[in-house]
């Protein structure tokens, strides 16, 4: 039975974990302070004022840069801020309008959204059609926080398409904010964007709120966390909260609510700590899930919890500690926070655009305290679903009222927790060894739920348990045979088994996108030769959404057809290498999943960082194929 103490119990329990989190953060910040400051990315786009321009007319082109908070772009007089197109015959760059900056120390600097406007005139002799305009662009940014420094000039090259219409025709005006002051009537959205979407998305509103430092940022962060909780990445965590609270609340709705609340507090503290460390160091958020020590720890905790719920032993705080705590009423809350903290590690791969915005903000500002609070707020939003599930589960366990029913429910939840342990054990073992372990687990499960019991001694549910036990034993034997066959290179369908695809090999599954795995250089050589864009999937087995995309999107016929104009590349970070880390930093990847389209010239066209339905992915692929 779990007993609950007073409010001081909650304060002291929370303070203990907060102290541990503070020590971790202080250590991370000390290491980070010794490193060189990393230049933050500067998103940019080039957009036209209309969807097309008539021969003999002119069109505005805007070069728009989104300068990170606490940074600025240097004075245009240095010649480092530029956009230089290579125009086809009949096209002329007529004039340039520079933004109004702020004077500091005799120099003009630019902050926030910086827009340079150009006018391109098209001669009457130019034939209607689509024209590709290659360009070079550049800028230099300076950091305003200590240590203050100006980074080396940055930039690159890209292309954008301009449609020339019949003389006298007119294109659809753009509603892009860069053209808000133009006197043209806005009738639709037609901006041709080189990089991601702009406007009122949640991540863009969150970015603005973080830069302004207002309380709305906390509301947006909380909302973002709740939206992440509705994605497939939370699936492995649902059995944990259901199993722990359902087995520990004793059928009390109030106890279920309080346990769920402290479970989420523990999750939030660990999740926020890991997030701030990732933001400060520039590490891939969730990458520690590829560390075998972390995975073994998670497996051990869940095996112990599952065994305890099956009645093997009771997990309790040592009696000496319980005495100092004035009894055992507080140990239940500490246990809830501990299990929640472990779940915070499991939750780390739950990434999305809002999370990446937060990590970038933490890295750019170095604000540990506020960054921690933002990350904790995100985790609390993520935990709303868990509080509802935990409270509801506690209430449901009270319905049967009979002690026998309660015991069976607790054992059933214990089996679910064992399933979670197997899920993470799969990331540690080879397929062959995992099949053997899976087989042994199913056999033991079958025997436990009644496969060895005598029919004559069973009634009602007991007979159902024996039947399910038989099914589990048969499944276990199948997995054991499969594992033994794989150990001896025997293909059960006939012939000799072949090993998995090596790095750089192309997947041969006809019902899947034909990914080239970790073959970065070869793929971009093919892209340059064939003039095709590259579709990159930054993937890891420990990333729940990555696996969900594999199982429900990349194997759909409509998606496979839509990738025909691309060269597909999968970069597998399940066990990262120095080469993969270099590519992650090159493409500014802060979390998984990340799916990206890169042109044959190496210019990024678009990316997304969350689960999308197959139809949405098809639209996304078709939109950016010829960008």
Q: How many CB atoms lie within 10 A of CB 570?
A: 22
Predicted confidence at residue 58, as pLDDT, reads 92
Question: Torsion angle, CA of 20/24/30/34, rounded to 10 degrees?
Answer: 180
Q: Which of 169, 190, 170 is nearest to 178 (CA)?
A: 190
Task: Return all residues near 85 (Cβ < 8 A) that are at least 6 apart.
Answer: 61, 93, 118, 120, 133, 134, 135
What single string gives the DSSP state of each residue in 186-249? Answer: P-S-----SSS--SS-HHHHHHHHHHHT-THHHHHHHHHHHHHTTSGGGGGGHHHHHHHHHHHS
| Greater pLDDT, 244 or 287 | 244
Q: What is the DSSP letter of 582?
A: H
Picking from 121, 122, 115, 112, the residue whose alpha carbon sits closest to that of residue 180 is 115
Least Cα distance to 594 among 586, 394, 326, 377 occurs for: 586
**Per-residue pLDDT band at 556 (split at 50, 70, 90):** very high
Q: How much is the average pLDDT of 211-231?
A: 77
pLDDT at position 394? 62
Sheet holding 71-73, edge to edge: 71-73, 141-143, 149-150
50-181 shares its CATH topology with 516-624: no
Which one is predicted more confidently, 133 or 541?
133
- What's the token pair of residue 152? 């080396």
Q: What is the pLDDT of residue 291?
A: 67
CB atoms inside a 10 Å sphere around CB 579: 13
Tell me the C-alpha distance between 579 and 426, whole Å. Answer: 25
Q: Alpha helices, DSSP H only, in 282-367? A: 292-309, 319-324, 331-347, 353-365
Percent of the chain with pLDDT over 90: 19
* pLDDT of amino acid 626: 67
Residue 489: CB atoms within 10 A of its CB come to: 11
CATH code of domain 516-624 = 3.40.30.10
Distance CA 1, CA 250 (A): 7
- 23: Cβ contacts below 8 Å, ≥ 6 apart: none
How large is the average pLDDT for residues 525-548?
87
Least confident of 41-55, 204-218, 442-456, 502-516: 502-516
Out of 187-191, 240-244, 321-325, 614-618, least confident range = 187-191
Give the number of other Cβ atoms within 10 Å of residue 528's Cβ: 13
Judge if the upstream peptide bond of residue 258 is cis by omega within 30 degrees of 0.
Answer: no
Asked whether the predicted pLDDT for residue 258 surpasses 50, the reply is yes
Backbone angles phi, psi at 46, to 5 degrees: -120, 125
DSSP-based three-state secondary structure for 50: strand
Q: Which sequence spans correspond to the domains of the chain?
A: 7-33+209-428, 50-181, 429-499, 516-624
What confidence tens digit (pLDDT) does each residue in 59-87 have?
999 999 999 988 999 888 777 898 999 99
Top mean pLDDT of 45-49, 197-201, 276-280, 400-404 is at 45-49
Instruction: For residue 88, give both structure tokens.
Output: 């086809």
At 520 the pLDDT is 92
User: Could you give the CA distance from residue 76 to residue 539 in angstroms, rounded to a whole number?
Assistant: 40
Average pLDDT rounded to a whole number, residues 482-487? 85
Res. 285 pLDDT band, cuts 50 70 90 = low
Q: Tell me the pLDDT tens digit for each residue of 120-148.
A: 999 999 998 889 999 989 999 998 888 88
Number of H helices, E strands in the chain: 18, 18
What pLDDT does 146 receive?
Answer: 82
Which residues, including other chains, have CB under 8 Å from residue 503's CB and lie 6 or more apart?
517, 518, 519, 572
Average the pLDDT over each of 151-155, 198-202, 491-495, 588-592 and give the range with the smallest value. 198-202
What is the tens place of the pLDDT at every residue in 266-283? 888 887 887 777 666 655
Tell which wins on pLDDT, 603 or 352.
Answer: 603
Q: Indicate the pLDDT class of residue 312, thresholds 50, 70 and 90.
A: low
- The pLDDT value recorded for residue 373 is 87
Confidence of residue 557 (pLDDT cuts 50, 70, 90): very high
Rounded Cα gap, residues 229 and 624, in angstroms: 29
Structure tokens at 244: 């722990």
**Strand, coil or helix: 473:** helix
Query: Among 248-252, 371-375, 487-491, 554-558, whose mean pLDDT is lowest?
Result: 248-252
Tell me which CATH homologous superfamily contains domain 50-181.
Answer: Immunoglobulins (2.60.40.10)
Question: Is the per-residue pLDDT at 347 higher than 80?
Answer: no
Is residue 506 over pLDDT 70? Answer: no
DSSP code, position 168: T
Contacts of 332 (CB under 8 A, 6+ apart): 2, 3, 4, 248, 259
**Predicted pLDDT at 448:** 82
Alpha carbons 357 and 328: distance in angstroms, whole number: 42
With tokens 């899920």, the residue in question is 423
pLDDT by residue (tens digit) across 27-43? 444 434 434 578 888 99
> To which H or E segment does residue 444 belong?
helix 431-448
Least confident of 18-32, 344-358, 525-539, 552-566: 18-32
Higher pLDDT, 456 or 566: 566
Tokens of residue 275, six digits: 């997030």
What is the b/e burial string over 104-127, where b = at least 16 CB atoms within 10 angstroms of the residue's CB?
eeeebbbbeebbbbbebbbeeebe
396 — pLDDT class (breaks 50, 70, 90) = low
Q: Are strands 516-517 and 567-572 parallel, antiparallel or unpaired?
A: parallel
d(CA 426, CA 302): 14
CA dist list (Å): 271 to 268, 284, 328, 341, 353:
5, 14, 27, 8, 17
């Amino acid at each position: 039975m779990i007993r609950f103490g007073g409010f001081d119990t909650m304060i002291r329990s929370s303070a203990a974990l907060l102290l541990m989190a503070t020590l971790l953060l202080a250590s991370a910040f000390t290491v980070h302070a010794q490193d060189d400051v990393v230049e933050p990315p500067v998103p940019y786009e080039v957009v036209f004022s209309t969807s097309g321009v008539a021969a003999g007319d002119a069109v505005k082109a805007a070069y728009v840069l989104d300068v990170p908070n606490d940074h600025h772009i240097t004075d245009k007089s240095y010649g480092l801020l530029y956009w230089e197109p290579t125009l086809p015959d009949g096209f002329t760059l007529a004039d340039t309008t520079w933004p109004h900056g702020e004077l500091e120390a005799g120099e003009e600097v630019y902050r926030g959204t910086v827009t340079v406007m150009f006018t391109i005139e098209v001669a009457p002799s130019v034939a209607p059609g689509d024209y590709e305009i290659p360009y070079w662009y550049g800028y230099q940014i300076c950091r305003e926080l200590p240590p203050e420094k100006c980074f080396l000039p940055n930039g690159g090259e890209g292309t954008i398409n301009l449609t020339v219409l019949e003389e006298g025709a007119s294109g659809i005006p753009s509603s892009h904010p860069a053209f808000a002051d133009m006197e043209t009537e806005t009738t639709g959205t037609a901006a041709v964007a080189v990089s991601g979407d702009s406007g009122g998305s949640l991540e863009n509103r969150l970015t603005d709120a973080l830069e302004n430092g207002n309380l709305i940022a906390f509301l947006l962060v909380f909302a973002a966390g709740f939206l992440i909780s509705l994605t497939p990445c939370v699936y492995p965590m649902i059995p944990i909260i259901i199993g722990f609270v359902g087995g520990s609340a004793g059928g009390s709705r109030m106890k279920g609510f309080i346990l769920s609340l402290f479970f989420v507090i523990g999750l939030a503290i660990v999740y926020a700590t890991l997030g701030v460390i990732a933001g400060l160091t520039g590490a891939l958020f969730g990458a520690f899930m590829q560390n075998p020590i972390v995975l073994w720890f998670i497996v051990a905790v869940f095996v112990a919890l599952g065994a305890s719920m099956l009645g093997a032993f009771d997990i309790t705080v040592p009696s000496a500690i319980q005495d100092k705590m004035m009894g055992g009423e507080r140990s239940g809350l500490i246990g809830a926070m501990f299990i929640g903290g472990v779940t915070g590690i499991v939750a780390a791969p739950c990434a999305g655009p809002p999370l990446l915005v937060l990590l970038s903000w933490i890295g750019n500002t170095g604000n540990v305290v506020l960054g921690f609070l933002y990350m904790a707020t995100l985790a609390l939003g993520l935990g709303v679903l868990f509080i509802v599930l935990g409270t509801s589960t506690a209430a449901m366990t009270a319905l049967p009222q009979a002690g026998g029913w309660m015991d069976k429910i607790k054992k059933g939840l214990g089996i679910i927790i064992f399933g979670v342990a197997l899920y993470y054990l799969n990331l540690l073992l080879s397929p062959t060894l995992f099949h053997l372990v899976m087989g042994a687990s199913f056999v033991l499960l079958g025997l436990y739920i009644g496969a060895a019991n005598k029919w004559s001694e069973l009634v009602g549910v007991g007979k159902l348990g024996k039947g399910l036990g038989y099914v589990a034993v048969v499944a276990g034997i199948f997995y054991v045979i499969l594992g033994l066959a794989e150990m001896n290179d025997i293909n059960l369908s006939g012939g000799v088994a072949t090993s998995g695809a090596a790095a750089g090999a192309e997947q041969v599954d006809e019902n899947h996108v034909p990914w080239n795995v970790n073959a970065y250089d070869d793929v971009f050589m093919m892209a340059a030769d064939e003039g095709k864009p590259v579709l990159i999937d930054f993937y890891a087995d420990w990333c729940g959404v990555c696996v969900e995309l594999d199982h429900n999107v990349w194997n759909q016929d409509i998606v496979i057809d839509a990738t025909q104009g691309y060269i597909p590349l999968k970069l597998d970070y399940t066990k990262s290498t120095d080469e993969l880390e270099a590519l992650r930093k090159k493409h500014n990847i802060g979390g998984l999943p990340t799916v990206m389209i890169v042109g044959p010239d190496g210019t990024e066209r678009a990316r997304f960082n969350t689960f999308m339905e197959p139809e949405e992915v098809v639209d996304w692929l078709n939109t950016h194929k010829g960008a």
